[in-house]
Structures are given as structure tokens and as C-alpha cells.
Amino acid sequence: MPSSLSRSEITYWGAGPALLPTDVLEEAAKALLNYNGTGLGIAEHSHRSALATDIINQAKADLAACLDIPDDYEVLFMQGGGTGEFSAAVYNFVGAWVVRKYKEIFGDVQGDAADHPELLEKLKQAVENELKVDYLVTGGWSQKASAEAERLLGSKHVNVAADARKANNGKFGIIPDEGSWNLSKDAAFVYYCDNETVDGVEFPGFPKSLEPGPDGKGPIVVADMSSNILTRKIPVKNFSAIFFGAQKNLGMTGITVVVLKKSFLPPSLSQPPVALLRTLGLPVPPIIFQYETIAKNNSLYNTLSIFDVYVAGQVLKKMLRTYPNKVEGQQAVTEQKAELIYGAVEAFPEVYRVIPDKTARSRVNVCFRVTKGGNVDASEKAFLEQATAQGLTGLKGHRSLGGIRASNYNSVPLEGAEKLANFIRAFATS
């Protein structure tokens, strides 16, 4: 890539860390040196200060406004990334399952569980025979999430309710028909990754089989939305938890957001005592991954990066300024950009091949192969070199999949998508 290219000449398509709005970065640069005339940069202020609390509360309020998050949900800022949440979801929702099962078995019986050996034995048997966590495996990230659950709980307690590879010749690229899903009767939760960044697979909407019934009750659903959060309107009330790393559409690497139903927090529900978990042979969560602890401390149990929260907050404020209809406005632009890119690729079937099936292809991670001339490796190398020379960077596919991947995140402007679509067409006809 020519070293003389300026930021304005680059359209970055990397999968993450992703492009940030230039005006947000410019304001953040000023805040790093002197925040609001305090003489200190924002990264130098105490996370215990009133200033930090205000930044957190503003970001929470603006996220709730953008996504229409109901009042009976809490927003947590955590660390550890989406990968950390693979573990945190297991710890917290298995703990919640144990509490529910404990109440069912012990009822109004008072005192320590060890004082009632017959009831405790019933609880142990329930854990042994009934505890399940369900996973819909549709790509690399959901596969890693299910593997982490197996590592923590053992394979007996992990139910892969659907595996796309079994219905697609050993490869990801589809979402199995819901009629084939083998969901558990009373799972501690059902996990799915709404958008698989590596494989370019996205759920077209909330799964029908996971929707709550007329009474409002349904499966406990946990979703990873790390790469497509803030790209479309979502039915938040259908989820018990949504988590996402900030570094795709929200901000910078360093914070992870959890949108959690408050019914999983005190006073509605507390996590089981550590001694009980040990007695039951279940893993004890690190306190930093315990939602109850993070919520109680307004995300400040440990030293949170306030600068990262500030940047996320500025991105949210920009969205609210730009789109009066909030995330729906962004959704329209995201889909327009995706249509431009897919349209260009599909116009030349002899040159390009979209990797995932059309029924499951992602709007935000467009994955395709370049087959021009029959030599895929040489064609893709030429495609990437020529794209880079034109300022279209970050297009190389994930190392596990290869090919081309255009990550159509919110900060990529419509003009950038038009530029990429024009290049795709020009390369095909050159």
C-alpha cells in the first residue's frame, strides 16, 4: 500500500478491530490530553470519580435509546471480550438454573443445604441428570463457545442442539432448519451467535422456535452479537442476555457489553453460594465474571477503561444525532451497502463465488472467493493487491477460511461500499 495515502483515502474492511468514525477519534484525541478542561486526560481520571460514573451512565442510557432496551434490563460493561463471555454465560446461567432447582427441591426448608442430606442428594441427582446448556453451532465462534462449555461442565451437560456442518457436508455456511433442532426441555440457556464473523453467516431474524409463548415464557436465550450489534433492530425482550465486544460497531477493543434481564439479578435472583457449587461439582465463577457483582458496582468492581466507554458513548451519540429513528436508520444503510457489494459479486458468477448459502449470508461480513482464471490463490492475491492500491484495505479472509471478507460495519460509509462494488466489477472485467 502506498505510504502516501491519507486516512480519507482509505476504506478499511477489516473484521476487527474495526474502523472508527474519524470525528469521534478526533474528539477522543483531544479528550486524551485534556478532558473537559480538567487539565487531565480522560485515561488519567479515576474510574471512581463522578466524571467516570457520568460517562458510564450516559453510555448506558444512549445504548438503551439506540436499541430500545426495556427498563427491566441492565447494561454491564465488562472485560474479557466475547470469548470471556463464553465462560461468563455458563457460570451465571448455570448458577441461575441451580438456584431455581434448589427452590423447587428445598421449598421453604430453612438452613444450610448440608443439614438436609436427602434433599441435597436430590439436587445432586438433578444436576447430574437434568442440567443442560444448549448450543446452536453455525460457525467458528459458536463452536468455540460450545467447546468452552464442555471444558467447564463436561460434555454430558452440553447439548449441541444444531450443528450446521452436519447438514452442509462438514462445512459451515448454512443455518440448519429449525425443525431439526434438538432443544433440551429445561436448558439453563440456549446460546447462538447471531452473526458469525469468520464464516459470513447471519441469522435472518430471531429464531421462531425460541420465541416466548403467549404467557411470555420461553427458553432462556443468550446471544453473541459482537459483529452485528447496532446494525439492525432486535427484539431485546426475547433474550435473557445479549453480549458483544465493542470493537466492531461500538468502539475500541477493551470493553465487552452485556445486556441482561434484571430477573437474573438480586433481589429477584442471587447466585448460589460457593460452597453449594463445590458440593455439586460445578465450577465456581471468577468474581470478575459474575454478573451480580458487576451490576451491583455499576461496572466498577475493578478498574474499567473509562476511555473505552467514552469512545463507545461518542459513537452512540453520533448514531442518535445521525438517525432520528435510531438503529433502524443504521439498518437501512447497512442493508443498502450489503446489497451493493453482493450485487457486484453476483453479477459475475464466473469470477466470484459467495461462500455461505444465500439464506444465511451475513449483511456485515461478506465472504466470497475469487475464481477468475481457475487459479484461486493467484486470483485472490491479485484482487487484494489491486484493492489495496486503491485504498480498499483489510479485505483478506480469515486464516481458517481464506478468500475475501468485506466487513461492512457501521463506520464504513456508503461511498466506501460504492467504491468496493465498482472495484469488484472492474476487476472482473479487466
The pLDDT tens digits for 214-251 are: 988 999 999 999 999 999 999 999 999 999 999 999 99
Q: What is the pLDDT of residue 200?
A: 98
3.30.470.20, 3.40.640.10, 3.40.50.80, 3.40.50.10190: which CATH number matches 54-309?
Answer: 3.40.640.10
Task: Just give the CATH number of 7-21+325-429.
Answer: 3.90.1150.10
Query: What's residue 372's pLDDT?
Result: 87
CB 285 within 8 A of CB 152: no
Decide the pairing of beta strands 404-407 and 221-224.
unpaired
Residues 32-45: pLDDT tens digits?
999 999 999 999 99
The β-bridge relationship of strands 352-354 and 365-370 is antiparallel
Model pLDDT, residue 1: 45
Q: Which residues, 6 or more positions from 278, have their beta carbon under 8 angstroms from its beta carbon?
A: 284
Q: Is the pLDDT at 338 greater than 60, yes or no?
A: yes
Give the residue range(s) of CATH 3.90.1150.10 domains in the chain: 7-21+325-429
pLDDT at 4 exceeding the cut of 80 = no
Identity of the amino acid at 250? L
The yes-or-no verdict on residue 104 having pLDDT over 80 is yes
For residue 400, give the 3-state DSSP assignment: coil
Q: Distance of alpha carbon 35 from its chain centroid, rounded? A: 30
- Three-state DSSP string of 62-115: HHHHHHCCCCCEEEEEECCHHHHHHHHHHHHHHHHHHHHHHHHHHCCCCCCHHH
Per-residue model confidence as pLDDT tens digits over 173-214: 999 999 999 999 999 999 999 999 999 999 999 999 999 999
| Helical spans, DSSP H, in 280-350 | 291-296, 306-322, 327-346
Over residues 105-125, mean pLDDT: 94
Nearest-CA neighbor of 367 among 377, 379, 352, 382?
Answer: 352
- CATH 3.40.640.10: which residues of the chain? 54-309
Q: What percent of the chain has pLDDT over 70?
A: 99
Q: How far apart are the first and last CA of the chain?
A: 20
19 vs 60: CA distance, rounded Å: 22
CA nearest neighbour of 225 among 210, 235, 212, 211: 235
Question: What is the tens place of the pLDDT at every residue in 301-332?
Answer: 999 999 999 999 999 999 999 999 999 999 99
Q: Which three cell numbers stand for residue 125?
A: 441427582
Rounded to 5 degrees, what angle do the CA atoms 171, 172, 173 make?
Answer: 120
What φ, ψ does residue 353 adopt, rounded to 5°?
A: -140, 120
The distance from CA 173 to its chain's CA centroid, rounded to whole angstroms, is 18
Q: What is the pLDDT of residues 55-92, one digit of tens each?
A: 999 999 999 999 999 999 999 999 999 999 999 999 99
CA–CA separation, 156 and 154 (whole Å) = 6
Residue of 176, 243, 234, 175 whose CA lies nearest to 206: 234
Average pLDDT over residues 372-394: 95
